[in-house]
Amino acid sequence: MKKKIHFQLKGNCFEINYSLEVLAQLSFDVTIKNDLMRNKELLLIINALPKRIINEISTKNNDEMEVFNNIQCLIEQINWNMRNKVTFVKSEHLMISHDIGCRDNCLKIKENLENLGYKVQITDTDFISSIKMIEKCSCFIMCVNERYRQSVICQNQAQHAFNLNKRIISLIMQDGFENAKGWLGMILSKGPSIDFIKQEMDESIQKLQNELKLNLEEPDDYYYFFQLKTTLEICEYDVIDEWGEDDAKNWFMTNNLSLTIFEYLKPCNGKMLKQMFQIKLNCPEFYYNSLKNIPNIKFNDMVLFSTFLDELFDIKKLRF
């Protein structure tokens, strides 16, 4: 990993931004995080990037400056992941996560909720501030549209709330996003969603208020049952972590999958397969580019492996 990332970090700011997006996603994984923490040289290179890039780009080029700002946020996130463990703190407020394109509507929603007596905070551009808001919130309200789906910062906020098992309510701010796919679809499936496009604001706020009452006023034994049910549902998923190379190879052979992929992934075991699945969910472009780089790989082999990988880690077992 070190050599590949080191090479990519020597490209232009757009290439570096893509590499850091992938690295930021991977750094949520504990094993990869520990590997990165031991790679002091790579961390020094990453933290020296802003100073080098600002000397190479044109400050008058809006596209380059936007990418530069995103790079700074990604580096801040990677460093935060290196330093911190997930902690649970007392919930104090509702949090609204959004992209800048629907900020006006989000401010109206915030005002309406505050008029109903709720304490509400809304995400800003500071990564650490947003993370702290997520950790302290009683409910994570996610305003969903195409720009939200494409935003790495928004994705990181949503995934952090998901990993903390926060109550999540999704507000659909663009047609067609009630059935979103990929990482967004997985998080949407965790909680209720309200369509703010097909109905008036007052009606949508009333439905949101109803959902908040249901989500924030359940008795404690409900959450005990909820957590127990979740644990039982994903136990089969967790067992795959214990697979050795023989188990993984047997899975390849049983499903007539290309052993070329198995050899490429060595040491290929349950943890490696699980990591490949998580990369496929969170960084599909990186995942498919990695498979394409396997010597003599066929397109059909890639499709079959991806299909059976999805079945092995059934996405339904990740839903709450």
Mark whether 144 and 43 lie in a shared domain: no
The pLDDT of residue 180 is 80
Nearest-angstrom CA–CA distance, 294 and 84: 35
108 touches 101 (CB < 8 A): no
The pLDDT of 41-56, averaged and rounded, is: 77
Domain count, the chain: 3
Share the mean pLDDT of the chain.
Answer: 77
Q: What is the CA radius of gyration of the chain?
A: 21
CB within 8 Å of 94: residues ≥ 6 apart: 113, 118, 119, 120, 121, 137, 138, 139, 141, 212
Asked whether residue 277 carries a pLDDT value surpassing 70, the answer given is: yes
Q: Is residue 108 part of a domain?
A: yes
Mark whether 262 and 310 lie in a shared domain: yes
Mark whether 211 and 97 lie in a shared domain: yes
Mark whether 201 and 304 lie in a shared domain: no
| % of the chain residues with pLDDT over 90 | 12
Q: Identify any residues that bridge with 97 across adjacent strands, giving them in sequence order.
A: 142
| % of the chain residues with pLDDT over 70 | 81
Nearest-angstrom CA–CA distance, 139 and 216: 8
Half-sphere exposure of 149 (CA within 13 A, CB side): 19
Question: Which residues constitute the domain of residue 131?
Answer: 93-217
The pLDDT of residue 30 is 67
What phi and psi, each to the nearest 5 degrees, are found at residue 143?
-90, 110
Higher pLDDT, 134 or 226: 134
Mark whether 199 and 308 lie in a shared domain: no
Nearest-angstrom CA–CA distance, 28 and 77: 10
| Residue 299 neighbours by CB distance under 10 Å | 9
Mark whether 19 and 44 lie in a shared domain: yes
CA distances from 316 to 186, 204, 234, 280, 310 (A): 9, 28, 9, 15, 10
Asked whether residue 2 carries a pLDDT value surpassing 50, the answer given is: no
Q: Is residue 177 part of a domain?
A: yes
Asked whether residue 13 carries a pLDDT value surpassing 80, the answer given is: no
Q: Is residue 225 part of a domain?
A: no
Q: Is residue 223 part of a domain?
A: no
Q: Is residue 60 part of a domain?
A: yes
Mark whether 35 and 7 lie in a shared domain: yes
What phi and psi, each to the nearest 5 degrees, are found at residue 41?
-60, -45
Q: Is residue 59 part of a domain?
A: yes
Q: Cα 299 from chain centroid?
A: 27
For residue 249, which of 235, 260, 236, 237 has the smallest C-alpha distance? 260
User: Last residue of a domain, which of 20, 55, 83?
Assistant: 83
Q: Write the DSSP assignment of 89-156 as a string of letters.
A: ----EEEEE--GGGHHHHHHHHHHHHHTT--EEE--S-HHHHHHHHHHEEEEEEEESHHHHH-HHHHH
Q: pLDDT for 70-113, tens place per residue?
A: 888 788 777 777 765 444 334 468 999 998 888 889 999 999 99
3-state helix, strand, coil in the chain (%, to 5): 65, 10, 25
251 touches 290 (CB < 8 A): no
What phi and psi, each to the nearest 5 degrees, are found at residue 176?
90, -5
Q: Which residues of 106-121 are buried (b: 16+ CB within 10 A; e: fewer)?
A: beebbebbeeeebebb
Mark whether 186 and 107 lie in a shared domain: yes
Mark whether 67 and 122 lie in a shared domain: no
Q: Is residue 246 part of a domain?
A: yes
Mark whether 173 and 210 lie in a shared domain: yes
Mark whether 105 and 132 lie in a shared domain: yes
User: Last residue of a domain, which of 83, 115, 133?
Assistant: 83
Greatest distance between any 2 Cα atoms in the chain: 62
Mark whether 76 and 154 lie in a shared domain: no
* End-to-end Cα, the chain, rounded Å: 33
Q: pLDDT for 180-225, tens place per residue?
A: 888 888 888 778 889 998 888 889 999 998 888 876 654 443 333 3
The pLDDT of 140-147, averaged and rounded, is: 92
CATH number at residue 99: 3.40.50.10140
User: Last residue of a domain, which of 83, 101, 124?
Assistant: 83
Q: Is residue 106 part of a domain?
A: yes
Q: Helix (H, G, I), strand (E, B), or coil: what is residue 49?
A: helix
At 2, the amino acid letter reads: K
